Structure 1
């Protein structure tokens, strides 16, 4: 696997690991633990140039402390700072307790060079769809007001715009307009990074990029009308955050035996 030339501070994004307390558990026809470990191994050559890690939600599938603790240990071994945000399968309390502090945590923001990463919590307990509560929007406003960098990334598990897969688009971020209004009004926000859809997508809204990333667990078939898995390989995304506000990015797939 070749590593792209560095063009600005590099952020690595993984998402939708869906781990269980039992590392041999099966989800959607695959063993999430096995795929996660394969992606971690593939990340190794990229870490030399990476400044930070983002996990964009659905850290675990069963809400267990054991699964969160195992993930925390694995991410900590990467020896890079990072942030995690909850997805619809996460348990907010368990996630918050395990990732309360340390280099990789659930803290709101992380500065990466000339960029600030702001994490948002779109989890609605018991529901697949996401939503941003009023206090999340207030926290976003406060984080934007406190920024000392010229550019910003927002991480939220549920995509705020359609990705072109009908059954997934029906399960995205409810009432995204308050977030989109803030994005439209603030040219410092250059990208929104999401998970949830278990596939890669890329769109633009004015000057802001809307990016989703393949899961490390099972893949979903892009464009499908109803739930359909894709036999494709798991993956991760790299993003080079340029000083001029541009982003160089691509997805790396990790073939499985």
Structure 2
């Protein structure tokens, strides 16, 4: 596996690890723990040129403290600052308690070179679709007002735009319009990075990048009308956040033995 040359400050993204207290547990026909460990091993050579790491939600599947602690230990081992945001399978309280301190934390913002990464919480307890509550939108407004960098990347678990897979689009971010209005009004916001759909999507909305990333756990089939898994390998995404506001990005798949 070759490492792409850097063209900006590099951020690495993993998503949808779906870990359990029992590391041998099965989810959607795979053992998430084994896939997560394989992806983290493959990520290692990319860390040389990476400034930070993001986990974009569904850290664990069963809400267990044990799984959160195991994940935090693995993320701390990369020795880079990082942020985690909740997905629909996460337990907000447990996530925040385990990821309460730097360098890998559930704090809202992280400066990466000329960019500010702003994480949003779209979790609706007991629901699969996401939503951004009024206080979350207010927190976004405050983070944008406090920015000292010229560019911004927003991270939210549920994609705010359709990804072209009918059943996944039905469980994305509900009422995305307030978020999209803010993005449209602020030229510093150059893109949104998400998880949730367990597949790669690379689109644009009003000139802004809209990206999703393969899960480290099971993959979902892009374009399917109903829930369908995909035998594709797990993976991660790299993003080079350029000084001119551009984003170079690609997905790396990690074949399983």
| Same-fold status (TM-score > 0.5) | yes
Q: Distance in 2 between matches of 1:225 and 1:76?
A: 38
Give secondary structure in 1 for the equivalent of 2:155.
strand
Any unmatched runs of 5+ in structure 1?
Answer: none
Runs of 4+ in 1 over 4 A off after TM superposition: none
Q: Does 1:90 align with 2:90?
A: yes
Matched residue, 1:146? 146
Runs of at least 5 residues in structure 2 that lack an aligned partner in the other structure: none
Alpha-carbon distance in structure 2 between the residues aligned to 1:49 and 1:204: 26
Distance 1:207 1:76 in 2: 35
What's 2:123 paired with?
Answer: 123
CA distance in 2, matches of 1:25, 1:41: 20
Find the counterpart in structure 2 of residue 108 from structure 1.
108
Aligned to 2:38: 38
Q: Tell me the TM-score normalized by structure 1.
A: 1.00
Aligned to 2:99: 99
Cα distance between partner residues in 1 of 2:248 and 2:149: 18
Query: Secondary structure of the equivalent of 2:250?
Result: strand
In structure 2, what is the Cα distance between the partners aligned to 1:131 and 1:37?
Answer: 30
> CA separation in 1, counterparts of 2:20 and 2:140?
31
Shift of 1:66: 0.2
1:75-110 CA deviation, whole Å, 9 max, x = no partner?
000000000000000000000000011200000000
Q: Which residue number corresponds to residue 194 of structure 1?
A: 194
TM-score (normalizing by structure 2)? 1.00
Give, in whole Å, the separation in 1 of the partners of 2:29 and 2:88.
20
Alignment coverage as a number of residue pairs: 257
Using the TM superposition, give the Cα deviation of residue 205 of structure 1 relative to its aligned residue in structure 2, in angstroms: 1.0
Q: Which residue of 1 aligns with 2:181?
A: 181
> Is the 8 Å Cα contact of residues 153 and 191 (structure 1) preserved in structure 2?
yes
Question: Relative to structure 2, which stretch is displaced further, 82-91 or 199-208?
Answer: 199-208
Alpha-carbon separation, structure 2, partners of 1:83 and 1:182: 22
Deviation at 1:206, TM superposition (A): 1.6
SS in 2 for 1:13: strand
Cα distance in 1 between the residues matched to 2:8 and 2:204: 21
1:207, distance to aligned residue in structure 2 (A): 2.2
Q: Deviations over 1:176-195 (max 9, x none)?
A: 00000001101100010000
Deviation of the 1:10 alpha carbon: 0.2
Q: Is the 8 A contact 1:187 1:207 kept in 2?
A: no
Tell me the residue number matched to 2:6.
6
Residue 68 of structure 1 pairs with residue 68 of structure 2: yes
